Chains A and B, each alone.
Chain A
Amino acid sequence: MNAIDTAIREAASAIMLDKVSKSYDGTTEVIPPLDAELRAGEFTVVLGPSGCGKSTLMQMIAGPERVSGGTISFGTRQVQDLEPKQRGCAMVFQNYALYPHMSVFDNIAYSLKVAGMPKPERVERVEAVAKMLGLFDLLARKPGQLSGGQRQRVAIGRAIVREPGVLLFDEPLSNLDAQLRHDMRMELAELHRRIGATTVFVTHDRVEAMTLADRILILNKGRIEQF
């Protein structure tokens, strides 16, 4: 176990959702008030049909979308009014959202650079993450020169390099072919075993949910059907 694993394991915290609701236009509630507690270090899969509010829920936890009501806590900290970078969580987007003009190294290092981390430390951290994800030989490439699975791993690297206690995945495997999907699933399970971050993973694929989850949260029209 290396330093990054340890740091993440220590930062892993429970996620408490207390009457969290969301409405984009003020009239229709995409998410009606919702309560849930995701335990520290667990791998929770959020399962639900397309359009049921999974991405919305994830983005409220991660920060880019604000809650319309209710509170979100990481451990004992209320985070719903904090900027994403202050929450200590990271997110992998469905289409990866890598910066197309930056090298793999710069993609992974960007958040550290923004945070003002000195260069030598940054290089060390990025290289450790790259080794862990098998990206070490690809650090100089641009995202356009990578395969789907490699891009996926860069997106994961970008998320874990900040050592987040909470790791969010929004349908990260839906763009991959069946074989690669299977392989990435194994890799993600392995990664979770190793780093132990509180992980929330969104999917609409039941098999994926079964193979990965410690617990499954079934969402339908913004309501929890089963947890």
Chain B
Amino acid sequence: MGLARYPGDQFLTNVVRIFSETLIPQQMANSLVVAVGDALVTCVLSFISAYALVFFPVRWGSVVFALIPATIMLPLDIRVITTYQVASNVLSPINALLDITGVNGLIAQVFGAPVMLEWSVLNTHFGLIAPLVAHGTGTFLFRQFFLVLPRDLVKAARMDGAGPIRFLFDILLPLSRPSFAALFVLTFLGGWTQYLWPLVASSTPNMQTAVVGLARLAPDTEGVMPDFPLIMAGAVVVSIIPLVMIAVLQRYLVRGLVLSEK
């Protein structure tokens, strides 16, 4: 029979089952929180870091900038174990520092027990988002955009009396709108389709993202036939939001990535 061109007559039934029998709706809400949070925070951080690197004489600026590609060359998938260790106790570096410097030894002598700070962000939205945000692509994007802006624009703004903050809000931000939109869409899609990190960082189904939830619809036990109609209907539902996103913002996506505004 080959590939089916159109959904069969059970498609709607299966979509209804996705909403009534599975956790996919709630997991899509998680995905939305993760993707939007990731995209927003990435946009803001990238914009600010590129602003500092391009427009201010930052000491060691070129070293800082050279470190940024490292976040791209070492993606989260490679450092997932270390990231998991940190996420399971965000304060562990402080504990290690106290141990190494011997401060903990003193504390143990005085109070009877060493300090063991603990703060786990596993299985929280924050824990799902934060590691995704540490990524340099956006900084690159904004840096390139800032570098092609006419230098005289900066000088003209200074002649007009605008300080760094006014320049940022009145001139740089409005001019960067297409870049923001492009970065937002790209990061949103990246966040929505993340698989490995949400899989290890969320331990309960109600914290999992839609993509993880979708994979979980196929039973692990051997010899059990997966409910493919249900899974396929789920795949369609889960794809709708990113598709809508691209449809609405693709105009900006192209404009922001070609970097030249006429």
Contacts and interface: CB of A to CB of B under 8 A. Distances in A.
Interface of A: 59, 62-64, 83-85, 90-91, 93-95, 97-101, 110-111, 114-115, 144, 158
A101 B169 CA distance: 12
Nearest to B152: A97
Contacts of A144: 262
8 contacts: A64-B159, A91-B159, A97-B152, A101-B171, A101-B174, A101-B175, A114-B160, A115-B161
Contacts of A101: 171, 174-175
Interface in B159-182: 159-162, 166, 170-171, 174-175
B262 A85 contact: no
Given A97-B150, A97-B152, A110 B160 contact: yes
Q: Which of A63, A64, A94 has the most CB of B within 10 A?
A: A64
B153 A97 contact: yes
B152 A63 contact: no
A84 B159 contact: yes
Contacts of A99: 153, 156-157, 171
A95 to B, nearest CB: 6
B161 A90 contact: no
A83 B164 CA distance: 13
B130 to A, nearest CB: 33
Contacts of A110: 160, 162, 170
Contacts of B153: 97, 99
A90 B159 contact: yes
Interface in B35-62: none
Contacts of B158: 63-64, 83-85
B155 to A, nearest CB: 4
A84 B152 contact: no
A98 B156 CA distance: 8
A64 B261 contact: no
B202 to A, nearest CB: 42
Interface in B104-161: 150, 152-153, 155-161
A84 B161 contact: yes
A64 B155 contact: yes
A148 B158 CA distance: 23
Nearest to B151: A97
B56 to A, nearest CB: 15
Contact of A63 (B159, B162, B166, B262): B159
Given A93-B152, A97-B152, A62 B159 contact: yes
Contacts of B174: 101
A85 B152 contact: no
Given A63-B158, A95-B150, A158-B156, 17 more contacts: A62-B159, A64-B159, A83-B161, A85-B159, A85-B160, A90-B159, A91-B155, A93-B156, A95-B152, A97-B150, A97-B153, A97-B156, A99-B153, A101-B171, A101-B175, A110-B162, A114-B161
B152 A94 contact: yes
Contacts of B157: 99
Nearest to B262: A144
Given A110-B160, A114-B160, A100 B175 contact: yes
Nearest to B170: A110
Contacts of A64: 155, 158-159
Contacts of A59: 155
A94 B156 CA distance: 11
A98 B175 CA distance: 12
B160 A93 contact: no
Contacts of A111: 159-161
A115 B159 CA distance: 12
B157 to A, nearest CB: 8
B22 to A, nearest CB: 47
Contacts of B261: 100
Contacts of B162: 110, 114
A36 B201 CA distance: 70
A210 to B, nearest CB: 27
A94 B150 CA distance: 11
